[in-house]
Structure 1
Amino acid sequence: TLMSGLIDKPGVYRKQGVGIVKGSKVEHLAPPHQNVPGLMKDLFAYLKTDEIELIKSCVFHYEMEFIHPFIDGNGRMGRLWQTLILMSKYPVFEYIPFETLISQDQNKYYTALATSDKEGKSTQFIVYMLVVIDESLADLLTFNNRTFTTEQRLDYFQSVHKKEFTRKDYMNTFKDISTSTASRDLKKGIELGILTKQGEMNKSRYVFS
């Protein structure tokens, strides 16, 4: 599973009470662990509703944090699920790094969660996430309209693509470059020691060192 090796019993619903503590203050006290299976069942049922994906992804993210179904890793799971829900309708969200964007100002993230918690509804968190989405899409559009050096392209691609990839994956991010330019970029990455290559010809795959 995603959390295997990071926490005890990954993928298993918690069997104890938990909360979110910031400093000496309890920001959120999660529902009793006995309620978790039922709450999660209702949450996944919500995914089958006709709500638009933008709103649905924000609500799911918030409810995942509110329920706090696992001992640890709930934030990562909430952000991952939001990305997956959005990608199911809008493939461009594969290239929107929510983890990075939220980590740039975590106080706003936790404030939005806390405000929604106190109000008993996810409205403020939805507004916060829609702003993050809007700003990230604007940045992506700006990025696609700029001319970058090889090093800048490699640096950006590394920030949004952590796993093994092919030249085609690289070109899907930089749609205005040619096959030869992509090959030169990847060769340069190997020379700089930031990339390693596995396989040859059309079976070549790359991974950041």
Structure 2
Amino acid sequence: MKRYQPPLTLTPQMLALVAEISEQVGRLTAQRSEALTPQLRRGNRIRTIQASLAIENNTLSVEQVTAVLDGKRVLGLPREIQEVRNAFAAYDAMPGWQQQRQADLLAAHALLMQGLIDDAGRYRQGGVGIYREGRLLHMAPPASRVASLMRDLLRWLGASDWHPLIASCVFHYEFEFIHPFADGNGRMGRLWQTLILSQWRPVLAYLPVETVIRDQQESYYTALAAADQAAEATPFVEFMLAALRQALQEAGQSDQVNEQVTDQVVRLLQALPPGVALKSSELMQRLGLSHRPTFTQNYLKPALAAGLIEMTDPASPRSPVQQYRRKSL
């Protein structure tokens, strides 16, 4: 019996993106071989989770997601807080999964959707569609076909000799086309693409490409619809490869910025003794700064992103009485 092969047309744009991304991944791997500290990994993972859930209308900010994972009290909907905890557990378990194993895919969905839907970890039993602002974008295949379609897709993934960058994007599209679960398909598709990429190059386990997708959400859904219309993954693969390229460019820029602001972060820590909490205006005064954007971009944000300082009220990041203190490591 002939094995399933997802329809795809290789385009010059696709091949150029694969070459450029491969080169960027090589540079990033060299830069981060020692620089990817546990704090930076955690910071990137938090951004990934927040962005992936934001695409699904979760309203928690990066600061609130961080607070949830730190076990702090957060003012938010119980469902949204549960989504954060589940997502962190799923990404944490990712290194133990094999991309082509159905049992691992179902286990991942069970973790992602635990306490959120009744059939977490099981394929859907009814019809489902993708809706955007009340408009039907895609009607998924009937539930009776889901098991066989997923079996064929996972078999193809395990045996494919396509470049992992292309294979991961194709899988992401085909997974969303099948829409195998009653809920959680979007975040599962993004999680599984990250798994595929991380097994090609480990540094990609901590690349928050979801932040790019969140910022280009309309284009993401447009690419899915275009692929449906073309009856092949090509438009979606081109979109996702471009998103990966942008995420890698931003990661490289972030590394350069981190090097440039080291002195500023050190100065901020010197102005903030252990056990002391200060407002941003008080910190600026201690540092002799009067330009708030410079303070925010070069001092405050890098120190927060590195996990060196924290907010006293992370549930209300823009509170006028917000203070900052050194974080206990």
Q: TM-score per shorter chain, which class?
A: 0.7 to 0.9
Q: Does 1:120 align with 2:231?
A: yes
* Among candidates 128, 139, 148, match of residue 29 of structure 1: 139
Alignment of 1:29-178 (within 5 A): 29-48=139-158, 49-146=160-257, 147-148=260-261, 149-150=264-265, 151-157=300-306
Identity of aligned residues (%): 44
Identify which range, 142-151 or 13-22, moves more after superposition: 142-151
CA distance in 1: counterparts of 2:227 and 2:124, whole angstroms: 23
1:14 maps to 124
Give the CA RMSD over aligned residues.
Answer: 2.0
Structure 1 residues 88, 31: CA separation in 2 closer, same or farther (over 3 Å shift)? same
Runs (5+) with no aligned partner, structure 2: 1-110, 266-299, 313-323
CA distance in 1: counterparts of 2:210 and 2:305, whole angstroms: 15
The SS at the match of 1:28 is: strand
Larger radius of gyration: 2
2:228 aligned partner, one-letter code: D
Identify which range, 89-98 or 136-145, moves more after superposition: 89-98
* CA-CA distance at 1:103 after TM superposition: 1.1
TM-score between both structures, scaled by the size of structure 1: 0.74
Maintained 8 Å contact 1:79/1:98: no
CA distance in 1: counterparts of 2:167 and 2:325, whole angstroms: 42
Runs (5+) with no aligned partner, structure 1: 158-184, 198-205
* CA-CA distance at 1:52 after TM superposition: 1.0
Maintained 8 Å contact 2:112/2:184: no
TM-score between both structures, scaled by the size of structure 2: 0.48
Structure 1 residues 153, 117: CA separation in 2 closer, same or farther (over 3 Å shift)? same
Structure 1 residues 65, 105: CA separation in 2 closer, same or farther (over 3 Å shift)? same
**Cα deviation 1:99-156 (Å, max 9, x = unaligned):** 2221112100000000001110000000000000111111111111122344433433
CA distance in 2: counterparts of 1:25 and 1:58, whole angstroms: 25
CA distance in 2: counterparts of 1:103 and 1:155, whole angstroms: 21
Structure 1 residues 72, 152: CA separation in 2 closer, same or farther (over 3 Å shift)? same
* CA-CA distance at 1:193 after TM superposition: 5.5
The SS at the match of 2:148 is: helix
Paired residue total: 169
The SS at the match of 1:31 is: coil
CA distance in 2: counterparts of 1:42 and 1:193, whole angstroms: 53
Structure 1 residues 193, 32: CA separation in 2 closer, same or farther (over 3 Å shift)? farther
Structure 1 residues 36, 193: CA separation in 2 closer, same or farther (over 3 Å shift)? farther
CA distance in 1: counterparts of 2:310 and 2:218, whole angstroms: 35
**Cα deviation 1:171-208 (Å, max 9, x = unaligned):** xxxxxxxxxxxxxx63x44883585x5xxxxxxxx6xx
